Each structure stands twice: as structure tokens, then as C-alpha cells.
Amino acid sequence: MSRTVHQLWRYHGGLKLDSHKAISTAGPVVKAALPRRLLVSVQQHIGEASLLLVKVGDKVLKGQLLADSNSYVSAPIHAPTSGHIVDIAEYPVPHPSGLEALCVVIESDGEDRWIELEPINHPNTKSPTALRKLVRKAGIVGLGGAAFPTAVKIDPGSRSQIETLIINGVECEPYISCDDMLMREYAQEVISGCEIIKYIISARHCLIAIEDNKPEAIKSIEAVIKSRALHTIEVVKIPALYPSGGEKQLIKILTHKEVPCDGFPADIGLLVQNVGTAVAVHNAIRLGQPLISRLVTVTGDGIKNPQNMQVLIGTFMSELIQQSGGYHDDASKLVMGGPMMGFTLQTDHLPVTKGCNCILVENTAEETPDTMPCIRCGACATVCPAQLLPQQLYWLASSKNFDQVQDYHLFDCIECGCCAQVCPSQIPLVQYYRFAKTEIWNQERDRIKSDHARVRHDARLARLDSEQKQRAEKLRKKKELLEKKKQAAAVAGKEVEADPKKAAIEAAMKRVRDKKAGRQTSTSDTDEK
């Protein structure tokens, strides 16, 4: 029986780019050597940072919990191998800011010994809530690069019913091929993860989107689906176009639906997950393993042996490059991610994080092009997949008009770089958008702090005013009571019983007056004589 062809749609813009993927897919996935030392960052996800549960000197096992948080949007951190914690301090981590972050340094004991695992052979016997808790406990985040906690994403709540689960195997950025190799070699795990996620969110259908330039991956995934007769899971081949891997762009291609501005795919009955995330869910549920490793593409014209590697989180990039043959003599630029959306690193002595899917080594010297004035050609708007006005965003961002730039939907920009790629004036447009977003976020944080301080100040003034009123009221009541006692005593012909302290003061003052009067009398008698 032939499979029906899924209808596809076209989103606005996009670019056809040279893939450069074959250089890293010629061989199988290689397991990276066990590092002597690992540097595990405590903040590897969007949301609240996890709180440390260990200290220097502790012995840990592979998979042991290192840090956790009670915050809803967060993800735990686990030990990638067994060993001893030799340091907990601020270290450089791969981030566009180049800043340091709190890290746990683990000295490996070479045993790579696991904690006691609790695999679940039949996930369907557990409730979706129980499985969702296990996904969170495993520290799983989106492995497509966003690193958003998966347990939060697969919990749409009561907003809407999820009709379709979309598994994103669209690896559209040049050079990156880890998802391609994952689908080729871990097809069983991909499908298992799809089934688990589909069960958790109660989706009726599952679409696995793969670009048509990945025939081996398509063949592997379809073979598993066919062997298991899974009629609710379907592979959809889509044209290779950048950035079709973007969540909103992929939804448009597959369903012709558009995610509302400031909305979520769940609002229109859809949920998107990366293929790597699906495998991580399989490992967490069926094997009981937390997220402590991932596939990383080590590639580029500046590296001798490009390949895909199964890497423990916290492994130094320098070790992966060394295991990939090292640098070519003309290697000049190190990038985490792809050439379009990645960012430059100043050193390779940085750890692999959960969101690191590619280490790219380029052999062309980074030259800052001469930027010319915008000529209003409109090429950027033509290729923008989010249907924005990049030139208008550029003018407002460059003039620091942060209020008006939001009127042009700045935060709908996915920073794909298509606009900068086609700009004849060589304007680094994405840098201006990132700058504007960062400044707006900083202003919002300052506003929240200011509002919080004002609320606290107003609360303090209200408290002081209340206390003052309470004291005044107590004094008023005391005076009223004393006045009533005086009136009652006058009616009864009695004096009000004096306050002992007040009586003592009055007696002392009377003695002073008598003594003073006695001196005055004595002086008058002397004068008369």
C-alpha cells in the first residue's frame, strides 16, 4: 500500500545555502574518550538556575544529581561520570557575552560508574503526569539549541488539546549534521521517544519532518515505522531551504497554520520537539538515564577530521578538536553552532553544554567588512522568514528607539541571519537586533526591580502610618478611660486614685516648693532685723 504524500506549504523568504554536511557524515558517530576532568555549568537552560546540592570533596556517581531548583521553568544538572568534585567556582562558558558562570569541576575516577537506574519498560502503564515528572527529573532540555526545559514544553495544561506532535529533523543550517547522524544510527530510539512524548501530550498524530537532502535518515526512520506498523507516525520530506528548521517556519510548511504573535504552537494544537530531545526522552524513561551526553558535530574547513561525536556534557572542546585530528595550519575562527546563527568563541578551553550541537572551525580569517549606508533596496525584507521589516528594525535599533522598535515586532525575529546575508551594504543587522533585545530585557528587569522597590517602600510607609495611628488610638482610649474615672470619682465625692509614679513626682515637687518657700521666709526675717 503506497503512502499518501503529505501536502506542503511555503513560508515567506528563506535562502538556499550550500550545506557543507558531507565532510562530517562520511563516517559513523564516534564516542568521545572519557575526559580526565569535566566542567559542568550549573546554568545550561532557559529559566531559573539550579541550586547546588554538592560541595567540594564529594564523591559522585555517573548520573547523580548535582543541582536542582524548585522553579517551574528550570532543569536539574547531573554528573556526567563518576569521580570527585575538586572545585566549585566561576569559569568561562560558551556564551555570546563571554562571561563566566558557576561550574562544578569533576575529576574522573576512570570507572564511569552509574547510579542505580530505574528504567520503565512499559511507559504506557504510567500516567502522563508521572512520565512528565521523570522527564523533568532527567534534566532534559530542547537539544535543537534553545535549551528550553522539555518538561515545561510537554505540559500544555488546559490551554488547548494537542492534535499533532511535530518532530523536527530539519537540520537546515550549513555544516551541522548531528541530527542527521542521530536519525541514521538511533532510529529506534527516535521513534520510541516520539511514542512517549505523543502519549504524554495525548496527541493523535506525529509528523517527523526531514529535509529531502537526508535520504539515509529518511530511510532509517521509515524502516522502523514500517517494521512496527505505526500508522499514526509519518515521515514528511520537505525541501532543503534555510531556515525551515525554525519552529514557526516548520509549522507553516507542514500545516499552513501560523503561530499567533506572542503565542505558542500549543495554542493552535501543535507541539514541536527536536529529534535529539526525543532520544533523550527515550533514554530517560526506558533506560532511566538523565541527560548527561549528546551528539556534537565537530566540523569545518579548519579541522583535519570532521566527524560527529557522542560527548559527555562538560567535556572541553579542545579535547574534541584534538580527537578530530586537530586544527589545520590555516584555522582562524572557532564558532559554537553554525555559520548563520552560531557565535564566535575566543578559546577552545570551554565545556560542551546541553545546547551545544556543533563546534565549527573555519579557515578564513575573520574580516570586518566595510559597512555602508542602507540603500533601502528591500532585499532583507524579501528573504525574512518572519515577514518583518528588517531595515526599519535596523533604523530604530541603531537609534536606540527601544519603544518604537517593539511596534515592528522585534521579538518575532528568530535571528536567522538571512537579512544580513543578502545585505549589499554589509550591515550586521542581527547584531543590532540582539543589542536592542538585550537592552529592552535589561530595562524590563530594571523596571521590575524599581516596581518591587516602590511596592516595598509604599508598604513600609503604610506600616509606619498604621503603627502611628494605632499608638494615637491607644493614647486616646487611655485618656478617655482616665477622664471617665475622674468623672466617676467626682460624682462619688472621691478623688481618683493617683498613679503611684505620678504621686511620687507630685510629692517630690511639693517638697521642693515647701523647701523653696521656707528659704524665702527665712530671708525675709533676716532683712527685717
Give per-residue pLDDT as tens, 297-347: 999 999 999 999 999 999 999 999 999 999 999 898 999 999 999 999 999
Average per-residue pLDDT for the chain: 91
d(CA 176, CA 22): 10
Q: What is the pLDDT of residue 167?
A: 97
Helix pair 187-201, 128-137: axis angle to 10 deg: 130
Q: Has residue 496 got a pLDDT over 50?
A: no
The pTM for the full model equals: 0.84
Q: Has residue 66 got a pLDDT over 90?
A: yes
Q: Which of 8-22, 147-161, 214-228 is predicted with the least confidence, judged by mean pLDDT? A: 147-161
Closest by CA position to 247, among listed 412, 380, 20 = 412
Mean pLDDT, residues 445-464 taken together: 90
Confidence band of 524 (pLDDT split at 50, 70, 90): low
For the record, the C-alpha cell of 22 comes out as 558531507
Residue with the bigger pLDDT between 517 and 449: it is 449
- The beta strand positions in 278-397, using DSSP E, are 293-299, 307-312, 333-336, 343-345, 358-362
Residue 75 neighbours by CB under 8 Å, 6+ apart: 44, 45, 47, 50, 136, 139, 140, 141, 149, 150, 151
CA dihedral sign of residues 243, 245, 249, 252: positive
Mean pLDDT, residues 484-488 taken together: 81
Residue 373 neighbours by CB under 8 Å, 6+ apart: 425
Supply the DSSP symbol for 126.
Answer: S
Q: What is the pLDDT of residue 480?
A: 86
Hunting for cell 530671708 — which residue is that?
523
d(CA 497, CA 40): 78
Closest by CA position to 292, among listed 115, 53, 84 = 115
Q: Cα 388 to the chain's mean position, in Å?
A: 25
Confidence band of 376 (pLDDT split at 50, 70, 90): very high
Q: Has residue 494 got a pLDDT over 80?
A: no
Q: What is the pLDDT of residue 262?
A: 79
Q: Which of 257-261, 284-288, 371-375, 516-520 is predicted with the least confidence, judged by mean pLDDT? A: 516-520
Tell me the β-bridge partners of 209: 168, 236
Confidence band of 493 (pLDDT split at 50, 70, 90): low
Mean pLDDT, residues 410-432 taken together: 94
Beta carbons of 302 and 325 less than 8 angstroms apart: no
Q: Has residue 495 got a pLDDT over 70?
A: no
Residue with the bigger pLDDT between 439 and 484: it is 439
- The continuous run of DSSP H or E covering 104 comes out as strand 100-108
- The domains of the chain, with CATH numbers, are 22-345 (3.40.50.11540), 375-511 (no CATH)
Give per-residue pLDDT as tens, 339-360: 999 999 999 999 999 999 999 9
Q: Has residue 4 got a pLDDT over 60?
A: no
User: In terms of C-beta density within 10 A (0-12 exposed, 13-18 middle, 19 or more buried), how is residue 112 classed?
Assistant: middle
Beta carbons of 40 and 313 less than 8 angstroms apart: yes
Mean pLDDT, residues 351-370 taken together: 85
Confidence band of 499 (pLDDT split at 50, 70, 90): low
Residue 282 neighbours by CB under 8 Å, 6+ apart: 189, 190, 192, 193, 196
Q: Which of 14-28, 190-204, 508-522 is predicted with the least confidence, judged by mean pLDDT? A: 508-522
d(CA 407, CA 404): 5
Residue 127 neighbours by CB under 8 Å, 6+ apart: none
d(CA 360, CA 294): 16
- Look at residue 101 and give its three-state secondary structure: strand
d(CA 245, CA 254): 12
Q: What is the pLDDT of residue 367?
A: 61
Give per-residue pLDDT as tens, 109-149: 999 999 999 999 999 999 999 999 999 999 999 998 778 99
Q: What is the pLDDT of residue 368?
A: 65
Confidence band of 457 (pLDDT split at 50, 70, 90): very high
> How many helices and strands in the chain, by DSSP H and E?
15, 17
Residue 9 neighbours by CB under 8 Å, 6+ apart: 252, 253, 254, 255, 256
Q: What is the pLDDT of residue 516?
A: 79
